[in-house]
C-alpha cells in the first residue's frame, strides 16, 4: 500500500507545516519539461468566461411546501466554475442545484465563487467571499480543486494544508462540506508518456492526501479521479470539451451524478439504510489512509470519517433532473428546445458582499 503510505505522509506533513518532498531527478525533470511544452501546443486554451449560473433552482417547490431555499455554495477552479460549456444549466453547480432541489423537494439557491485557473491558495479568498453575509451562510458547500496545483508543481503538503484550512473554516461556520478530489490528469488526451504516467501518479497521490485532510476537518470527499479516467479515456470526444482539457456538458453531468448522492447524504436526504456499508458493493470501514488511496483509484467513491477509521462507499448514481420544476429562474428547461433567456455573464473574482 505504497499510495496509502505516501498519502498519509503528505497529510501528516501538511498538518504539521512540513515542506514538500522531491520526487523527480534532474534527467527525468528535463524529459517532463519537454513533454509539457509539446502538450501545451496541442491542448487548446480555456478562453472565454464560464456561464454565470447563480440563482434559484426548483422554484416550483416554494408554493407547494413554503419552505425556505437551501443555499448551495460552489468553490474551486475551472471545473467547479464550469469552464468549457456555454449554457448556465450545463455547469456542475447548476446540475447539482437542480438535483438537490428535486431530491429535497425544496428550492435551492446557488452561489458559485469558483475561479478558472485557481490553485488551492485561492480558497482563502473564496471562503471569505462565500461567508461574507452572516445572514445567508450556505447550508452545504462543494469544492473542486487540485488540478492546477499539480500542473503548477505546488507542493502537495501545501496544497493539502490550504484545502484543510478552507474546509475547517466552512465547518466552523456551520456549513456541510463535500470535496470533489483532484481528477486524474493522466486522462488528458494530448499528453503522452512519461508525462501521462507522472500526471496520473501525482494527481491520484494528491487526491488521497486531500481525502485525509478533508476528513480531519469534518468534511466528506468524492473521488473524481477514476471517474474522469476510464469513462473520459474511452469517450474523449464526448466527455472532453473543445479544448481537450475541460469536460464537455456530458462530462460535467457524469461528475455531477457522482457527487449528488454524497451532497444529499450530508444533508440527511438519503435513506438511512444507504448509510450502512454494503459488502456486495465493496463498501466497508477501513483505515483512513487505505480508504483514501482506494477512493483515489475509483471515481464516484465517497469517504466519510468514522472516528479514526473511514467509511468507504460506492453510492448509486442518480439521474439528474431536467424538468421545469428544477430549471433556474429566467432559463427555460432543456427539453423545450428553446434558448435560455439568461446569457453567460462575467464573474468578477474580486466581487464582495453588497
> Active-site residues: which are they?
78, 243, 246
Angle value at C-alpha 46, between 37 and 250, nearest 5 degrees = 115
Radius of gyration of the chain (CA): 19
Angle value at C-alpha 255, between 159 and 175, nearest 5 degrees = 60
* Residue carrying the nine cell digits 446557488: 110
Kindly state the cell numbers that stand for 201.
501518479
Which of 301, 335, 324, 334 lies closest to 85 in space, CA to CA?
Answer: 334
Kindly state the cell numbers that stand for 154.
505546488
Which of 61, 64, 134, 50 lies closest to 97 in space, CA to CA?
Answer: 61
Burial environment of residue 127 by CB neighbours within 10 A (0 to 12, 13 to 18, 19 or more): buried
133 sits in which H/E element: none
Contact 293, 208 (CB under 8 A): yes
Q: Quote the CA–CA distance of 60 and 40 in Å, as a whole number.
A: 46
Question: Which phi and psi angles does 208 have, rounded to 5°?
Answer: -65, -45
Other Cβ atoms within 10 Å of 63 Cβ, number: 7
Q: Quote the CA–CA distance of 248 and 181 in Å, as a whole number.
A: 19
What's the chain's length in residues?
Answer: 354
Burial environment of residue 26 by CB neighbours within 10 A (0 to 12, 13 to 18, 19 or more): exposed
Kindly state the cell numbers that stand for 229.
479516467
* Residue carrying the nine cell digits 454494503: 278
* Residue carrying the nine cell digits 454524497: 262
Amino acid at each position: 500500500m505504497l499510495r496509502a503510505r505516501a498519502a498519509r505522509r503528505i497529510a501528516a506533513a501538511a498538518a504539521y507545516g512540513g515542506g514538500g518532498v522531491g520526487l523527480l531527478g534532474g534527467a527525468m525533470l528535463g524529459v517532463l519539461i519537454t513533454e509539457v511544452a509539446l502538450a501545451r501546443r496541442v491542448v487548446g486554451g480555456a478562453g472565454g468566461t464560464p456561464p454565470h449560473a447563480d440563482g434559484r433552482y426548483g422554484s416550483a417547490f416554494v408554493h407547494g411546501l413554503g419552505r425556505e431555499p437551501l443555499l448551495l455554495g460552489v468553490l474551486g477552479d475551472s471545473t467547479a466554475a464550469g469552464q468549457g460549456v456555454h449554457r448556465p444549466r450545463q455547469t456542475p453547480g447548476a446540475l447539482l442545484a437542480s438535483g438537490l432541489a428535486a431530491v429535497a423537494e425544496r428550492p435551492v439557491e446557488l452561489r458559485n465563487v469558483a475561479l478558472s485557473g485557481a490553485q488551492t491558495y485561492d480558497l482563502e479568498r473564496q471562503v471569505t467571499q462565500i461567508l461574507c453575509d452572516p445572514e445567508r451562510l450556505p447550508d452545504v458547500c462543494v469544492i473542486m480543486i487540485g488540478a492546477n496545483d499539480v500542473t503548477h508543481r505546488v507542493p502537495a503538503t501545501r496544497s493539502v494544508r490550504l484545502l484543510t484550512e478552507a474546509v475547517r473554516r466552512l465547518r466552523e461556520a456551520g456549513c456541510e462540506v463535500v470535496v470533489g478530489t483532484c481528477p486524474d490528469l493522466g486522462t488528458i488526451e494530448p499528453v503522452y508518456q512519461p508525462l501521462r504516467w507522472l500526471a496520473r501518479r501525482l494527481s491520484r497521490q494528491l487526491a488521497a492526501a486531500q481525502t485525509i485532510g478533508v476528513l480531519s476537518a469534518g468534511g466528506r470527499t468524492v473521488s473524481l479521479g477514476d471517474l474522469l479516467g476510464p469513462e473520459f479515456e474511452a469517450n474523449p470526444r464526448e466527455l472532453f470539451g473543445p479544448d481537450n482539457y475541460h469536460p464537455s456538458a456530458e462530462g460535467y453531468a457524469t461528475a455531477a451524478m457522482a457527487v449528488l448522492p454524497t451532497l444529499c447524504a450530508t444533508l440527511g436526504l438519503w435513506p438511512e439504510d444507504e448509510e450502512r456499508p454494503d459488502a456486495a458493493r465493496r463498501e466497508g470501514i477501513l483505515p483512513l489512509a487505505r480508504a483514501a488511496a482506494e477512493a483515489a483509484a475509483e471515481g464516484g467513491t465517497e469517504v466519510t470519517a468514522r472516528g479514526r477509521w473511514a467509511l468507504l462507499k460506492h453510492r448509486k448514481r442518480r439521474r439528474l433532473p431536467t424538468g421545469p420544476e428544477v430549471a433556474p429562474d429566467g432559463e427555460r428547461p432543456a427539453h423545450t428546445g428553446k434558448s435560455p433567456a439568461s446569457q453567460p455573464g462575467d464573474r468578477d473574482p474580486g466581487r464582495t458582499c453588497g
